[in-house]
């Protein structure tokens, strides 16, 4: 039996992970901004679950949640940094406060929790930290600038910490699912915006695509939770794991295109080195791309 700490467990994927982990016989500290959302889990699982109110943007509260977890169950074996939300609208029409709030939650929430659990896991020479990211941490879609900023940051942060923590037995992995049926779209599009005409071909196209997809995503959150259960038993893991057929296909298409562009621009890139001779190479014949094929 292991002890899990799960942020953002009041609903969506976090709630599903808590249910699956508890059902498998483990102990869970489930955190949420509204702890009452977890009352039914407490009724079902009793002393196997402890609930804490937590806003992950509050670093002191994150430290207190980790201390509460360690005090309640004696250790923390797995942390799932799941708290987060989306915001689909043009960057130009996203107020600075809203942009910052999303990054504070989706990125600095991960940083805060990781910062305060690492000393505990380093001392016990073991532990898994799962950062619930997204293919949005590898792929960008018009109209999701704040979300991509946060999730790309999570990926780089997690990879660096994973390398640093591996020698003392702590595994850090960014979990990058494609679309899942978690109700994510309801929060991602909660801010209605009168789209500027100039953004109709780009952001408008993406918003229409997403509207057609909400509730019909191919990813099963229960299966994602079961994958995490299995991963928590692994002594070592890669820093990034993409989940879902659609997500994998999307990432593969994007990485193929990036490789093509990288090679196309290689002569220009090579030229900036001191040892490169001659004049600046001619720039590639570059056309502004239309809608990326992975968005259609």
Asked about 108 being catalytic, the answer comes back as no
Angle between helices 59-73 and 109-124 (to 10 degrees): 40
List the beta bridge partners of residue 99. Answer: none
Beta-bridge mates of residue 12: none
Q: Which residue out of 2, 69, 134, 147 is catalytically annotated?
A: 147
Phi-psi region of 55 (alpha: psi -120 to 50; beta: other; left: phi over 0): beta
In Å, what is the CA distance from 193 to each residue of 90, 102, 186, 206?
A: 9, 17, 14, 14
DSSP string, 2-35: -EEEESSTTSHHHHHHHHHHHHTT-EEEEEESSG
Which CB contacts under 8 angstroms, 24+ apart, belong to 195-201? 195/89, 195/90, 195/93, 196/90, 196/92, 196/93, 199/90, 199/92, 199/93, 199/142, 199/143, 201/291
Q: Under the phi-then-psi rule, with left for phi > 0, alpha for psi from -120 to 50, and beta for the rest, what region is 51? A: beta
Ramachandran region, residue 183 (left: φ > 0; alpha: ψ -120 to 50; beta: rest): left
Task: Note the residue count of the chain.
Answer: 296
Which residues fall within 8 angstroms of residue 77, CB to CB, at 6 or more apart?
2, 3, 4, 126, 127, 128, 232
Catalytic residues: 133, 147, 151
């Amino acid at each position: 039996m292991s002890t899990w700490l799960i942020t953002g467990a009041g609903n969506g994927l976090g709630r599903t992970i808590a249910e699956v982990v508890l059902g498998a016989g483990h102990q869970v500290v489930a955190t949420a901004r509204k702890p009452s959302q977890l009352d039914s889990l407490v009724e079902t699982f009793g002393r196997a679950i402890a609930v804490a109110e937590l806003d992950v943007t509050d670093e002191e509260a994150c430290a207190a949640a980790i201390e509460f977890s360690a005090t309640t169950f004696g250790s923390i074996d797995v942390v799932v940094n799941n708290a987060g939300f989306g915001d689909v609208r043009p960057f130009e029409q996203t107020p600075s406060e809203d942009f910052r709030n999303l990054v504070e939650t989706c990125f600095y929430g991960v940083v805060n929790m990781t910062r305060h659990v690492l000393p505990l896991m380093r001392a016990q020479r073991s532990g898994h930290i799962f950062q619930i990211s997204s293919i949005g941490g590898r792929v960008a879609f018009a109209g999701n600038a704040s979300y991509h900023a946060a999730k790309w940051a999570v990926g780089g942060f997690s990879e660096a910490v994973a390398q640093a923590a591996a020698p003392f037995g702590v595994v850090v992995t960014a979990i990058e699912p494609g679309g899942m049926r978690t109700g994510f779209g309801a929060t991602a599009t909660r801010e209605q915006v009168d789209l500027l005409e100039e953004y109709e071909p780009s952001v408008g196209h993406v918003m229409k695509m997403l509207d057609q997809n909400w509730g019909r995503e191919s990813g099963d959150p229960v299966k994602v939770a079961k994958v995490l259960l299995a991963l928590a038993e692994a002594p070592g893991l890669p820093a990034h794991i993409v989940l879902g057929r659609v997500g994998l296909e999307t990432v593969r298409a994007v990485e193929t295109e990036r490789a093509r562009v990288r090679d196309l621009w290689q002569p220009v890139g090579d030229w900036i080195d001191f040892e490169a001779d001659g004049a600046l190479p001619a720039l590639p014949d570059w056309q502004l791309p239309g809608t990326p094929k992975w968005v259609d």
